[in-house]
Structure 1
């Protein structure tokens, strides 16, 4: 009998978890803070494919970032992109609209995402940097391109941690501190526009 009662209670509890609560006063859901925007310009896959056809120019670059100081500004020695992927997109009218929309929305507030269509993302080239951050896109045609990468690094530092206080016989107080190490992980989005003006040229770019 006791076992039967336990099973009935468990069954009722399970129903209460899966059923929708009702009442005289229902609190409305908050608006989703992540807003998605899409470019209004149509993506032209034929144009993108034509821009990525083989040419005789070369894009050679070096990818790096600099650590941020306490004020949020980049300073100090370069951190070179070691074995990261650099993506190249052809700058079509669709891409220009996407970039401008992203730029405008990011200037307003955070948690706004500007969607790049899956079809547009497929039309890209990829290169991998060496340990010095160097990368190359060979056989490029004249045109305008957008380079992007994500560079992760760890910032190390020390701080003084309060460990306690001591008092002498005259009422004087001494605070004690111990030096501690800390580390903070970062990921910087590095990107740059680059233009190939004629066949056969070598365009150099700094991606940071």
Structure 2
């Protein structure tokens, strides 16, 4: 996941530079507190259960390998989130340090119903984020030609003629992608929190 994140980041920066746009990459000024973050992610007894909701309501849509990321809301993370919100015109890109980004928990959502679960969490505030990728198959028809039929009388003369279109069926697969995020707070040990993304 680290490689995927930073590969996407570098691709975004390089694409912007290629388009002759200036992107200002910023990191939080708050120092990253490794021990505080490790303590927030230490084992607890709370559970977070959730569902990733389909963004396109067609019942035939299927989920595509959705991974949900959980981050503890440390002062460092909170500043990063606020920096993200300031990026109104796409001129600033807020990023975390590689070390800070590594302190997260990942879980894969079910391909069937989008359900996911985080176990052994401590009380605290958490940030959840995922990219909802859905695929859909549509059967379509494409006109590939025309068949002409001609009617003749008993003398062999053409008296009627009509055309009939020829269609060929094919399947079209397409994908939709939506970024979704939310904050969730666990207030006590042993608590079970339900979440919808």
Class of the TM-score when normalised by the shorter of the 2 chains: 0.5 to 0.7
- CA distance 1:79–1:161, change in 2 (3 Å): closer
Query: C-alpha distance in 1, partners of 2:18/2:118?
Result: 46
1:91 equivalent in structure 2: 73
For residues 36-95 of structure 1, what are the alpha-carbon distances to aligned partners after superposition, in whole Å with 9 as ceiling and x for unaligned?
A: 43233322111111110111111111112212xxxxxxx555956464321111011111
Matched position secondary structure for 2:53: strand
1:150 equivalent in structure 2: 131
Kindly name which structure, 1 or 2, has the bigger radius of gyration based on alpha carbons.
Answer: 1
**1:65 matched to 2:54:** yes
For residues 101-131 of structure 1, what are the alpha-carbon distances to aligned partners after superposition, in whole Å with 9 as ceiling and x for unaligned?
A: 11221x323x753212101111111112223
Query: C-alpha distance in 2, partners of 1:203/1:80?
Result: 26
**1:116 matched to 2:117:** no
Q: Deviation of residue 99 (structure 1)?
A: 1.4
1:200 equivalent in structure 2: 190
1:56 equivalent in structure 2: 45
**1:140 matched to 2:121:** yes
**Contact 1:151/1:187 (<8 A) preserved:** yes
- Aligned partner (choices 14, 22, 29) of residue 41 of structure 1: 29
TM-score (norm 2): 0.66
Instruction: State how many pairs are aligned.
Output: 170
Let me know the Cα RMSD of the aligned residues.
Answer: 3.4
Structure 2 gaps, min length 5: 1-16, 147-165
Structure 1 gaps, min length 5: 1-28, 68-74, 166-175
1:14 equivalent in structure 2: none
- CA distance 1:36–1:185, change in 2 (3 Å): farther
- CA distance 1:189–1:38, change in 2 (3 Å): same
1:102 equivalent in structure 2: 84
TM-score (norm 1): 0.63
**Contact 2:47/2:193 (<8 A) preserved:** yes
**Contact 1:41/1:93 (<8 A) preserved:** no
- CA distance 1:185–1:40, change in 2 (3 Å): same
1:187 equivalent in structure 2: 177
Q: Which has the higher strand share?
A: 2
